[in-house]
Amino acid sequence: MLEIKSLHKKLGSFELKAIDLKIQQGDYCVLLGPSGSGKTLLLELICGFQRADQGEIWLAGKNVSKLPIQQRGTSMVFQKPVLFPHLSVKSNMAFALQINKIGRKKINNKVEELAHQFQLTHLLNRKPGQLSGGEAQRVMLARALAAEPSLLLLDEPLSSLDVLLRYDLRKLLKELNNKGTTILHVTHDYEEALRMAKTIGIMQSGKLIQWGGPQDVFRNPASTFAAELSGLKNFFEAELLPETANGLRKVLVHGVLLFTQSELDAGLGKLVIDENQIILSKDMPHTSAQNNLKGHVKQFQMTSYGFEIEIDCGINLIAYITEYSFERLALTVESEVYVSFKTSAVRYFTT
Amino acid sequence: MVTKYSWLRLVFIFFSGIVLLFVLAPLLRLILAPGLSGLIEAASDQQVSQSIFRTLGIAMSTTVIAGFITVPFAWLMARSHFRLKSVINAIIDLPVMIPHSAAGIALLGIINRESVLGQWASSIGISFIDQPAGIAIAMAFVSLPFLYNASRDAFEAQTGLYEKAALNLGASQWQTFYLVSLPMAAKGILSGYVMMFGRAMSEFGAIVIIAYHPMVTPVMIFDRFNAFGLKSAQGIAALFVLISLIVFISLRLLAKRQSDARN
């Protein structure tokens, strides 16, 4: 559907370097990266606001690298609603159709259909200045879809909305995707990426540093950067030791010895322990888990899904447990607690 | 926060009163001095009425024609970024800064009958000196900056995102300009047109150098004052000021209604 081949673009001191990616028809792809990583520039290159210095962009089997914006078949939804203020909601939605000189009846039908789908019917005669943020963003989306794009580009479309509206719009975007619209969505919010994406790309200083399903990307971050961006809590500098024990590798984290599985050479690197796979108990556990540490609760806080507990066991570990577990273990600050996790919850990598 | 009865407010109200009075008093005196009979007398003078129609007609044509090419120029400047941009903006402002008699002399230098432009124009039957075409050129020269600045400000106030959005929805560059950029800037452009028209119809200095005849009203006021004194000039001046006021108020209302309808 979309294929990008070693795309380069230099813009002032910023450089987009050798971007390669492939998006399948019907995919929901999220490009995740901090501001200044080149996500928006990549979108602008795809829809034609910018011309690439090198490389090719193929859309629906056609090389569009040199095609003008109008002939690329992409629709962009911007971070803030960019509705034409002098036109009514209806005329905004009909803009692309009127440009293409489609008959009045067809235009009306299409606008009505979209208005119904996006719950905009009662707003059709309003001017954009009279819309709320969420309504305006829905009109933006409807207007973009009226053009029947082969690829929908979203540039942080949710960031200017409050939580409730975000939820509604996310739902709407998912529905669109389920109906077959291919979407490329850019954001700096990893939770958003996690919620929406079928495929995730991580961008850092003009490079696409990781590409894959959300599971792969967040469970196996390819770099420190990807791990930090994903909000992983238990993230350490570590030293992988050369010796093995029972087929497992020993790894040293600030003086604490852990076991992991790795094919990498001994040396310095990074280590992630999945906070969802950490088990807490009051007594020494007798399980198959190879990593068992004794520590005490440093602090805890309530979250939307239970409790986040910080345990000092030589290293500071974060574990997530449910409210029920929290009460059952009767944890307080300074409580003694055992921490255990399997070697598969420990991932070592070099950057 | 300014409270209703603060000293600051009182002092500022006093200053505001002085400024308003300073502008209004001479104009009121001018309009009231000749009385109704003086106004009617001026209006029934055929030379006067002809000159008023001439002035309004030439000013209107100048504004429309010069505006047609100035607005695209303003858009281009609003959307371009280059090092000499501020220099070009300053150059466009020059006609407002220099004495208008100097502007007339400058224009005369390039449109006189011996100049290249003058000769080329006369070869196709156009003459500037003491002709409506010369008056139009003088008017355009001194009034153009008003339309240029107002239009450029209006285009600069829109972010380029709206144009990107239109292009992205399939509009050509021309369609983007007249369906999006132009209507969005309409309010500013219309008020620029009103300012340009006002400046054009009231121009004296540059016109008097290029075309004393046929007389536009500002020149006629000066001419009558020189020949017959204050009383005679007052009637025409009052009539012209009244007509200007009516034209302006109507144009402003029209521009406001246009932009209200759009937004």
pLDDT tens per residue, range A122-134: 999 999 999 988 8
- pTM exceeds 0.80, yes or no: no
User: Under an 8 A CB cutoff, do A47 and B168 touch?
Assistant: yes
Between B4 and A31, residue with greater pLDDT: A31
Q: Cα separation of B149 and B145, whole Å?
A: 6
| pLDDT number for residue A194 | 73
Closest residue in A to B176 (Cα–Cα): A99
Interface test with B, best of A51, A59, A99 (most B CBs within 10 A): A99
Task: Answer for the pair B208, B134: CB distance below 8 angstroms, yes or no.
Answer: no
Residue A351 has pLDDT above 70, yes or no: no
Q: What is the DSSP letter of B215?
A: P
Average pLDDT over residues A296-319: 88
Residues B33, B238: Cα–Cα separation, whole Å = 8
pLDDT at B4: 65
Phi, psi of A320 (to 5 degrees): -105, 130
Backbone angles phi, psi at B171, to 5 degrees: -75, 145
The pair of three-digit structure tokens given for residue A220, joined into one six-digit string:
């196996």
Does residue A220 surpass a pLDDT of 80? no
In the predicted model, is pLDDT for residue A286 greater than 90?
no
How far A146 CA sits from the closest chain B CA (Å)? Answer: 9
What number is the average pLDDT over the span A315-323? 90
- Among residues A112, A108, A89, A88, the alpha carbon closest in space to that of A98 is found at A108
Percent of chain A with pLDDT over 70: 97
**Tens-of-pLDDT digits for all 263 residues of chain B?**
556 678 999 999 999 999 999 999 999 998 888 888 888 888 899 999 999 999 999 999 999 999 899 999 999 999 999 999 999 999 999 998 999 999 999 999 999 888 888 889 889 988 888 999 999 999 999 999 999 999 999 999 998 899 999 999 999 999 999 999 999 999 899 999 999 999 999 999 999 999 998 999 999 999 999 999 998 899 999 999 999 989 888 888 887 776 666 55
CA separation, residue B165 to residues A94, A111, A258, B20 (Å): 13, 18, 54, 45
Judged against a pLDDT cut of 80, whether residue A305 lies above it is answered with no
CB count in 10 Å sphere of residue B200: 30
Instruction: Summarize pLDDT for A88-115 with one digit per residue, the tens.
Output: 999 999 999 999 888 899 999 999 999 9
| Distance separating alpha carbons of residues B24 and B36, to the nearest angstrom | 19
In chain B, residues 183-202 whose CB comes closer than 8 Å to chain A: 183-184, 186
The DSSP code for A223 is S
**Tokens coding B194:** 């009103």
Tell me the pairing of strands A199-204 and A207-212.
antiparallel
CA-based radius of gyration for chain B: 22
Q: Do A18 and A52 contact (CB within 8 A), yes or no? A: no
Average pLDDT (A46-67) is: 92
Cα-Cα end-to-end distance for chain A: 32
Residues of chain A in contact with residue B261, where contact means CB-CB under 8 angstroms, are none
The mean pLDDT of A298-320, rounded to a whole number, is 88
Residues ≥6 apart with Cβ < 8 Å to B16:
none
- pLDDT for residue B263: 53
User: What is the Cα A21 distance to its own chain's centre?
Assistant: 16
| Residue-level pLDDT at B114 | 87
CA neighbor of B216 nearest in space, from B190, B252, B244:
B244
Which of B161, B166, B183 minimises the CB distance to A78?
Answer: B161
Q: What is the pLDDT of residue B1?
A: 54
- Going by C-alpha positions, the residue among A182, A211, A197, A185 that lies closest to residue A25 is A182
Q: Is the pLDDT score of A27 beyond 70?
A: yes
Spatial CA neighbour of A271 closest among A287, A243, A249, A292: A249
**Does residue A125 contact residue A90 with C-beta atoms inside 8 Å?**
yes
Which residues of chain B are within 8 Å of residue A129 when distances are taken between CB atoms? 263
Return d(Cα A281, Cα A68) in angstroms, integer: 63
Residue A53, CA atoms < 13 Å, CB-side half-sphere = 12
Task: Decide: A335 and A296 in contact? Cβ < 8 Å.
Answer: yes
Mutate to test the interface with B, among A44, A50, A82 (most CBs of B within 10 A): A82
Q: What is the CA radius of gyration of chain A?
A: 25
Tokens of B159: 């972010």
Q: Does B157 touch chain A (CB under 8 A)?
A: no
Whether B15 has its CB under 8 Å from any CB of chain A: the answer is: no
Contact flag A85-B169 (C-beta cutoff 8 Å): no
φ and ψ at residue A119, rounded to 5 degrees: 55, 50
**Sheet arrangement for strand A291-303:** A279-281, A336-341, A291-303, A306-312, A316-321
* DSSP labels, A88-123: -HHHHHHHHHHHTT--HHHHHHHHHHHHHHTT-GGG
Q: What is the DSSP letter of B178?
A: I
Distances (CA, A) of B255 to B16, B195, B250: 27, 12, 9
pLDDT at A262: 86
The three-class DSSP label of residue B262 is helix
How confident is the prediction for chain A on average, in pLDDT?
Answer: 88
Whether residues B172 and A96 touch (CB distance < 8 A) is answered with: no
- Smallest Cβ–Cβ distance between A84 and the set B167, B172, B180 belongs to B180
Listing DSSP states for A308-348 in one string gives EEEEESSSEEEEEE-HHHHHHHT--TT-EEEEEE-GGGEEE
Minimal C-alpha gap between B193 and chain A (Å): 20
B262 closest CB neighbour out of A70, A75, A86 = A86
